[in-house]
Amino acid sequence: MVKREPSVTVRLPQAWLWAVILGGAAIGLGAAFAVGPLADWLISRFDGAPGPLRLAAALPLVWAIPVLTLVGGVAGALVAGTWHDENPVIEVGADSVVVHDATGGRHVERARIAEVFTDGRELVLRDTDGREHVRTRVDSGLAGRLQSAFEQQDYPWRGTVDPHEADYTTWVDNVPGLDERAHALLRKRQRALADNRTGAADEAHEELRALGISVRNRGKVQQYRKV
């Protein structure tokens, strides 16, 4: 009987999230001692200071310390929560991979995965025909953990550069080589990303994938590759 490796789950470590929260609290604590001198300097230099800064500087130190430490901790918790929500939870098993991200959950059988790699700040799983099963944003700090998890389960890990990097082309509206349907979806995706409508952008991405077009972002431009 073949012994199988237990599944490996990759997610943002709780210690990283707590570090952000505690870091925010530490900044708030430091601010309790700095707001008074800073407000005095601004008033002497520019004859005024922002209202919130004057309000914080008016607090007695015995109150400023807990209040600003709490405010810093809450701000850190908001940042940590956003960071947590932006990163997927990836379960790497012997027979399949499950990705839980903002678009929901996706299950991909091991037999359908021919390439696994990180492309910038995205994790990509591809089929044998070159189509993408998954392209999801991950924090760059997780790259090593992802590599270890996939290699432990003997998946075809291809590193941190797209094996088909040279095949991507920067999208230009109405450029020959793509039909009108593809151009319309790329326009839709670009507008959705500009408006921060991630759901609409994901829908356009899925439709492009169904057409056999792989798309990614480099800065503010879209790049595509025909599969």
CATH number at residue 109: 2.30.29.30
Helices (H), ranges, the chain: 14-46, 51-58, 61-86, 143-152, 180-194, 198-210
Q: What is the pTM of this model?
A: 0.79
DSSP 67-122: HHHHHHHHHHHHHHHHHHHHS-EEEE-SSEEEEEETTEEEEEEGGG--EEEEETTE
Which residues face 107 on adjacent strands? 98
End position of a domain, from candidates 119, 143, 163:
163
- CA proximity to 171, closest of 217, 136, 132: 217
Side by side, which strands form the sheet with 89-92?
8-10, 89-92, 96-101, 104-109
Query: Does any domain span residue 8?
Result: no
pLDDT of residue 3: 55
The pair of structure tokens assigned to 149 is 């998890």
Per-residue pLDDT tens digits for 80-100: 999 999 899 999 999 999 999
Residues 82 and 41 in one domain: yes
* Rounded CA separation 193/196 (Å): 5
- Per the structure, the count of domains in the chain is 3
Looking at every residue in the chain, the average pLDDT score rounds to 90
Query: Does any domain span residue 142?
Result: yes
Host domain of residue 81: 14-86
Per-residue pLDDT tens digits for 170-202: 999 988 889 999 999 999 999 998 888 888 888
Residues 156 and 95 in one domain: yes
